[in-house]
Amino acid sequence: MSADLIIVLTVLAVTLVLFVSDRLRLDLIALMALLALALSGVVSTGEAVAGFAEPVVLMIAGLFVVGAGLFNTGVADAMGRWVERVAGQSPARLIAVIMLVTAFLSAFLSSTGTVAVMLPVVIAIARSRGISPSRLLIPLAFASLLGGMQTLIGTPPNLIASTTLAQAGLEPFGFFEFTPVGLVMLTIGIIFMVLFSPYLVPERETPETAHAQEGPDWLELFREYGLDTELARLRVPAGSSLAGRSVIDTRLRSELGVTVLAIDSDTGRGHKLRAAEPGSVLRAGDEIYLSGPRTQIETAASRHGLELLTWAPELPAPLLLIESLVPPRSGFIGRSLRELRLRSGRGITVVGEHPAGREGGPPDLDRPLAAGDALLLTGQAKTLGTLGNGVRDLVLLGTGAEPQDRRRSHAPLAIGIMVAMMTAMTLGLVANVIAVLGAAVLLVLTRCLSMEQAYRSINWESVVLIAAIIPMATALDNTGGMDMAAEALLGLAGELGPLALMAALFVFTSVLSQVVSNTATTVLVAPIALQAALAMDVNPHAMLMTVAIAASTAFATPVASPVNTLVLNPGGYRFADFARAGIPLQLLILGATLLVVPRLFPF
């Protein structure tokens, strides 16, 4: 073993450990690995930065923009609402329809974006049917992963597998070449979930299932978030010590744990209700809505001379109480509520939080937020809707807070551009990367979304991760590590034939994808699969298809995929819930892969 190979394997081992530890961002880890390889001289400077010029990297960036165009024009929302109309009452039919629509969207859009759009729809359906959302959300997450298997652009592993073939001078996968295999896997997934999810997917009480309790909706949510909180409407008399003071100057929240949610002022021409912000000034005669423990509200009323009008009023019409989730790769991750200052200038107040894997309670303003955290917000529909823009920083789980800047009149244009892109890719009219970038540019030119929205829609972590991890594959190839890995695979499965090699590739890729990004996994495994296929003199397309399918079976842990993390808190799931439902499905897909892929891509 050469010194260069030892360096590469050491850097690879450290990179994988850091990926699994989840202590640093994936793109940062990949950049650190790139620098380590370049500084050690294992790869040249040109090889180190070559990944940023790879067509697959530009395609993935462009596809984020194309997806944003469909989201921004309401196409994805319309599909989600259609589910409500046709789902029916049968739980089996509900699961089947939800999975079919989710898979269809995920075949052309990002799986995370698809789940973010479908999540509030599915929760609303569960509420209206009196079903625990936990019965529906694991099928939703799995369907988005199965949907990614359907097309070339369904998920980055498909593009990477196709690019690996093209770089070796072989025919890449066509746009719909994944579809026959993907449809088989989707059918298996739907049948499995319809038949066995009642036994494998638990029915859990969550912040979304509180209809058995009495009281107004806001009270149910308070209880489910573990808040010892009530709502009261009080008047600020002329002699009150709060009259003339701003909300932040009252120190009600910092000293008593009582939150001013809204202020109802008599303007002389009628009442004007506004969400309370730190700088909002209380006037004599104003009616204010306070939330907090009853004893603390009573203390505030006594201390400041407030007149208690009523306990447990309905929230005033313009004010919503709505749940939200911090999605993976949100800009809110790692930042505290105090730092984000959601309330200042926006009219939004965080009244409760439900950290992933922990009990809910009052918000800790100084705790860094993490992916999967649930926040209970109040505000007006318009201001809350601004948080849902781009399905990026917060996913709103309730209804009524319509994301702003939806350009629904442009939906036919967006669909037409998408169809044109797919046609160009399918018929080979232009290179795939040109078709994707052309569609992205057209979506901006036709004002389906703005240039700023286009840039915001790109998941730069994924783009940089792919570009920066490509030199690792180059280094393994330069130092003979790729040949060594291929020989190890052949030694393990070679005597048993190509089916054994397929099984070994599937298991290795699937297991690694449970703890490492499936994109990074595919970048590393695809070249090894190609080398092993060429050494065994079997069809490389069969092996690369196996790797792509296996990379999308990230079912077994809540951290295996961003979509699993996204449904963890709303479903009230535990770590083992994903393994109980996911591992049997992985085994079924393994068996189906060994049966179907050799028939479509003969050895």
Q: Residue 300 pLDDT more than 90?
A: yes
- The pTM for the full model equals 0.79
The 8-class DSSP code of residue 173 comes to P
Q: Are 487 and 181 within 8 A, CB to CB?
A: no
Question: How many whole angstroms separate alpha carbon 499 and alpha carbon 510?
Answer: 16
- Residue 117, sorted as left (phi over 0), alpha (psi -120 to 50) or beta, turns out to be alpha
Residue of 64, 80, 65 whose CA lies nearest to 112:
64
Angle (CA) 189-193-196 rounded to 5° is 130
Residue of 234, 61, 205, 10 whose CA lies nearest to 126:
205
Residue of 432, 519, 532, 533 whose CA lies nearest to 470:
519
What's the full length of the chain, in residues? 603
At 47-73, the pLDDT tens digits run 999 999 889 899 999 998 998 888 888
Phi and psi at residue 91, to the nearest 5°: -55, -40
Among the ranges given (293-307, 308-322, 382-396), the one the predictor scored with the smallest mean pLDDT: 382-396
Residue of 91, 135, 137, 146 whose CA lies nearest to 118:
137
Question: How many whole angstroms separate alpha carbon 394 and alpha carbon 407?
Answer: 20
User: Check: CATH 3.40.50.300 for 215-396?
Assistant: no
Work out the burial of residue 534: count CB atoms within 10 Å of its CB; fewer than 13 is exposed, 13-18 middle, 19 or more buried.
middle
Q: Which two tokens stand for residue 212?
A: 């058995």
Question: How many whole angstroms separate alpha carbon 135 and alpha carbon 197?
Answer: 7
Q: Residue 214 pLDDT more than 50?
A: no
Q: How much is the mean pLDDT over the chain?
A: 85
Q: Are 275 and 344 within 8 A, CB to CB?
A: no
What's the confidence (pLDDT) of residue 567? 87
The 8-class DSSP code of residue 288 comes to E
HEC string of 416-433 equals HHHHHHHHHHHHCCCCHH
At 428-465, the pLDDT tens digits run 899 999 999 999 999 999 999 889 888 988 888 888 98
Phi and psi at residue 309, to the nearest 5°: -95, -45
Which amino acid does the sequence have at 400? Answer: G
Question: How many whole angstroms separate alpha carbon 274 and alpha carbon 319?
Answer: 8
At 136-156, the pLDDT tens digits run 999 999 999 999 999 999 999
Domain boundaries, the chain: 3-45+465-600, 60-206+432-460, 215-396
- The three-state secondary structure class of 186 is helix
At 365-404, the pLDDT tens digits run 888 988 888 888 877 666 666 665 444 677 877 655 555 4
- Higher pLDDT residue, 328 or 549? 549
Q: Residue 496 pLDDT more than 90?
A: no
